[in-house]
Amino acid sequence: MTSVLKSYRCASVFWVVATLIVASVVPTRTMSMSMAKAGCQQSCRNSTIIIPFPFGIGTDCYYDPWYEINCNSSSPGPERPILSSFGVEVLNITSCSSSKCDITDLRIEVATEWQKICSAQKEVVNDMDSSPYMMSTSGNHLMVKGCPAVAILMNRKGNTVAGCSSVCKGKTADSSSSCDGVGCCLISVDEQYLGVDYYQMALRNNYVDTNNNTCVEFALIERSLTLENENENEIERLARDDLVPTLWHWMPPALPQGISDTSSNHSDSDFSCKSFCGYYDEVQCVNICTCNQGFQGNPYIPNGCRDPCKEGINHSSLNCKKRSLRITSAPILALNIVLGSVTLLVLGYGLYRLVKRWRQIEQRSKFFKRNGGLLLQQQMISEGGVIESTRVFTFTARELEKATDNFNNNRILGHGGQGTVYKGMLLDGRVVAIKKPNNKVKSDHFINEVVILSQINHRNVVKLLGCCLETQVPLLVYEFVPNGTLAKHIHHNPNQDFQITWKMRLQIASEIAGALAYLHSSSTTPIYHRDIKSTNILLDNKYRAKLSDFGTSRSMMIDQTHLTTRVQGTFGYMDPEYFQSNQYTEKSDVYSFGVVLAELLTGMAPVSKDESGVWKGLANEFLFHFESNNLDQILDVQVVQEEAREEQVRVAANLAKRCMNLSGKQRPTMKEVSCAVEGIRSFNIFEQLTFKGSHNNPDLIMEMGKILNDEHYTDSTTFYSTNSV
């Protein structure tokens, strides 16, 4: 949820900025020019009704008292504009702000009350004489409610302008019906004139009940409302309202303020005036001024017509046309739209990159925590600063993706139980091996391997160059060991171009034994490898051995003799004693090394099928042939064909046998094994032990004595005892 809120805030900020920028280059709708006189308010408080001059609010803000507007605040809500000369509420005022305007556009909509007329009254007169207002005939309908009656609307000359009859059903008015002549009637007004300044309403006597004083109510209702609301319920609602909207026309002053030349149409200025004649009853002509083409505003106030293109406030579809140059604004508008669109696209792309970058950072932070980054930091603190953070956090995800061509399958070096290893080349030209664990590998195994390898500094242990925690699965970066695994070379392959010689096998055994002896006794804290096998032994370009894969390794306290844990390892290499007791000791590593040594001697896999299809283990097979004194039947042909001394082979076999003893206590330590293998590597063991003037290694002599004192090597025992006196 947090990430979502952050993304929303980021996007909101962007759109605000984008709107401001685009608004600066693309024409947009701005606030209208003021239609009121300078220094005067153009609307009542909180009201949306604009009051244009010659109307005005307050002293010196209107043309004359006929146009005075008062703001009524007696009721809650916005103030209501009141036309003071007639005391009616103003609902809307329409004026001319551009050249496309005529006399029909000068309208004022007011709220009027229903008027009552009775048979005894004869007539009701509404006189608007001498005022700048006319009752619109084309814009209103006459509505009469009540019955029985025939209502007649007449002008000043007594001519009928409109009339309608309302009859009753039975003896009462049907107030629930529509205005179809039963209890109520609705009719349009004669449109001979646009408006009248005087009208009278009368009831025809022959339709009036003379015994009772018949009274009806009438009103002129804006025509657009009655046409839009042909629904009976809406018309009935209008009939029930106390106030109804009525349309008037208003006439402006003859000329704007400060202009006295009535003969000029002022076409060279920013406004012009034109006379309209014959539109009103009893009024011959009306002079109306409008802003010229290219200008907008109110021509009845000084400098009220302004050029929106010149002043940069164009807010309509008006084609800006300067009177002198006659240049349209279409190209400029198109250019602004293009610039605005390009700006918006650039900002959109920038936002996309920003959000993408932010999400990558968030995702990498999440991966860092999930992959055990915090646990690794704790390990760094707990180890007293042994692990250098610059060494561990060296590589970025992008750097490793480039190094492996996005982890291309062609770069795969091999697969293992814990992941896939890729070959990669860094930007500095170094060739590395990158281990990408399986998704199921736990992060503690990964962290454990980083911690273990960061404590080890040995030439026969593969070197950890760094790691990456910001990917979906953590990545380990090792030095590249070019010649692959030991298993690939010693398990028979007819197509193998290069075979490991006996001398090289002894060298590999010596180097691995030395590395394990270092882990058990010479490193900062004792380390048990827990997964020694030929596939975890790599060979460099000179076929020197390097021990790898420390995912299941464990550091031990100095005084700790074993590790109680869930049984895990590789069948064929697993210590039987550990399998039974769940207690892993340093002698468990010795057992696994014994199996590797047996592989070097025989070239056989740790687990294989015999001719009958039954699985058999190398350890049992090796011990069986050793005890039967026919070991030569399973020795590797590469060992047999070489001129290897028989004594070397037998001592190496005896060492393997002792390492694979079922009792851990009967097995030698890795330090003892390392000394023994070093002795076997000598060209002649016995010459090294007896040659006069040679430097005798006490540890080597002691270990060789243990090996040669085995009951299956009595002839050598006699030789050793005779020469050791």
Catalytic residues: 531
Number of residues that make up the chain: 725
Q: DSSP letter string over 308-345?
A: TTTTT---SS-----TTT---SHHHHHHHHHHHHHHHH
What CA–CA distance (Å, rounded) separates 277 from 619?
124
Q: List the beta bridge partners of residue 201.
A: 124, 153
Pairing of strands 107-113, 243-250: antiparallel
What CA–CA distance (Å, rounded) separates 648 from 654?
10
**Strand, helix or coil at 704?**
helix
In this structure, the number of other CB atoms found within 10 A of the CB of residue 70 comes to 15
Q: CA 561 from chain center: how many Å?
A: 53
What CA–CA distance (Å, rounded) separates 584 from 556?
11
What CA–CA distance (Å, rounded) separates 79 from 45?
6
DSSP E strands in 155-232: the ranges are: 160-166, 184-188, 195-196, 198-203, 215-222
What phi and psi, each to the nearest 5 degrees, are found at residue 35? -100, -5
118 in Cβ contact with 148 (< 8 Å) = no
In this structure, the number of other CB atoms found within 10 A of the CB of residue 369 comes to 13
What phi and psi, each to the nearest 5 degrees, are found at residue 646? -60, -35
DSSP alpha helix (H) spans, 204-329: 223-228, 232-240
Q: What is the DSSP letter of 522?
A: I
Instruction: Mention every residue, 6+ apart, whose C-beta is less than 8 A from residue 9.
Output: none
79-110 in b/e form (b: 16+ CB < 10 A) is bbbbbebeebbbbebbbbbbbebebeebbbbb
Residue 416 tokens, joined: 């293992």
What phi and psi, each to the nearest 5 degrees, are found at residue 284? -75, -60
22 in Cβ contact with 340 (< 8 Å) = yes
Residue 395 tokens, joined: 């590589």
DSSP E strands in 324-457: the ranges are: 412-415, 419-425, 431-437
Instruction: Mention every residue, 6+ apart, whose C-beta is less than 8 A from residue 345.
Output: none
367 in Cβ contact with 446 (< 8 Å) = no
What CA–CA distance (Å, rounded) separates 718 from 301?
135
**Strand, helix or coil at 216?**
strand
What CA–CA distance (Å, rounded) separates 455 from 384?
11
Task: Let me know the angle formed at the C-alpha of 298 by 294 and 302, rounded to the nearest 5 degrees.
Answer: 100
Residue 526 tokens, joined: 């004792």
Q: What is the DSSP letter of 518?
A: I
Q: Which of 253, 325, 256 is nearest to 291 (CA)?
A: 256
Q: Which of 183, 115, 187 is nearest to 149 (CA)?
A: 183
The type of residue at 197 is D
Q: 526 preceded by cis ω (within 30°)?
A: no
Q: Which of 156, 56, 52, 67 is nearest to 101 (CA)?
A: 52
Angle between the N-to-C axes of helices 698-708 and 714-723, in degrees from 0 to 180, rounded to the nearest 10: 140
In this structure, the number of other CB atoms found within 10 A of the CB of residue 410 comes to 8
